[in-house]
Amino acid sequence: NAGVTQTPKFQVLKTGQSMTLQCAQDMNHEYMSWYRQDPGMGLRLIHYSVGAGITDQGEVPNGYNVSRSTTEDFPLRLLSAAPSQTSVYFCASSITGPSGNTIYFGEGSWLTVV
Amino acid sequence: GENVEQHPSTLSVQEGDSAVIKCTYSDSASNYFPWYKQELGKRPQLIIDIRSNVGEKKDQRIAVTLNKTAKHFSLHITETQPEDSAVYFCAASRSALYAGGTSYGKLTFGQGTILTVHP
């Protein structure tokens, strides 16, 4: 049981490049989400999904796209990377949502945009 | 939307002392309040949580209290140890219904508290 798996762990991008952060979970969780973590600002919700084919915006969605074609996978796409997107990204999942259910985080992806 | 404020941003204590971290929230409908511990370079991990129908919850040296009227909740760590040193985050969530009646919610985090326990 791998839990929540994120790749890559580290990435350096040039401004304007695009990339996809991969996230997969093997716990059959309906709810998956992406957070970014910046110093002094805690974790902020980017996008989330309550099941295959259903996604919604979080607190800071601009510049990011998501899709949920399967229960297991929830990739995060940066369309045109900007230095402001330099951050640590965490994918997380839970059975039916964070209200009363334990959220399981991936190990994080460190992204630097130069 | 929900706004969660966390204080203090840094906290330094001597080993064996108690540590208290406080959070306030804005959405009176929030009903779930977890606390996460994050060690340097690691993922956040749940250490304790409380639901809005409970005023206090304890787990060994860790306790959380909730005051719904004042909309604030606190983490209490007693007999602190050096391995308690980490960043602690509070969070708040409310249930949101989607089609089919399934309950979900969005978790809003506080800004974090860097706790340092000196031997």
pLDDT digits 0-9 by tens, B5-28? 999 999 999 999 999 999 999 999
In this predicted structure, the answer to whether residue B96 has a pLDDT above a threshold of 80 is: no
| pLDDT of B3 strictly over 70 | yes
Sign of CA dihedral A92, A35, B101, B29: positive
Residue A93, helix vs strand vs coil: strand
Residues 6+ apart with CB under 8 A from A33: A45, A46, A47, A48, A49, A58, A74, A91, A92, A93, A98, A103, B107
Mean pLDDT of A97-111: 84
pLDDT of residue B52: 83
C-alpha angle A65-B33-A44 in degrees, rounded to nearest 5: 25
Q: Is the pLDDT at B101 greater than 80, yes or no?
A: no
* Residue of B42, B106, B114 to mutate, testing the A interface (most A Cβ within 10 Å of its Cβ): B106
Q: Encode pLDDT of B34-70 as tens digits.
A: 999 999 999 999 999 998 888 999 999 999 999 999 9
Q: What is the mean pLDDT of residues B75-91?
A: 97
Q: Of A30, A33, A99, which is closest to B32 when you measure between CB atoms?
A: A99
| pLDDT band at A98; cut points 50, 70, 90 | low
Q: Smallest Cα–Cα separation from A103: which of A92, A112, A91?
A: A92
Closest CB from B43, B45, B94 relative to A99: B94
For chains A and B, count residue pairs whose Cβ atoms are closer than 8 Å.
Answer: 79
Reading the block at residue B92, the tokens are 């708040």
Query: Taking an 8 Å Cβ-Cβ cutoff, which residues of chain B contact chain A?
Result: 1, 4, 6, 9, 31-32, 34, 42-46, 49, 51, 89, 91, 93-96, 98, 102-112
Higher pLDDT, B86 or B93: B86
What is the reported pLDDT for B103? 54
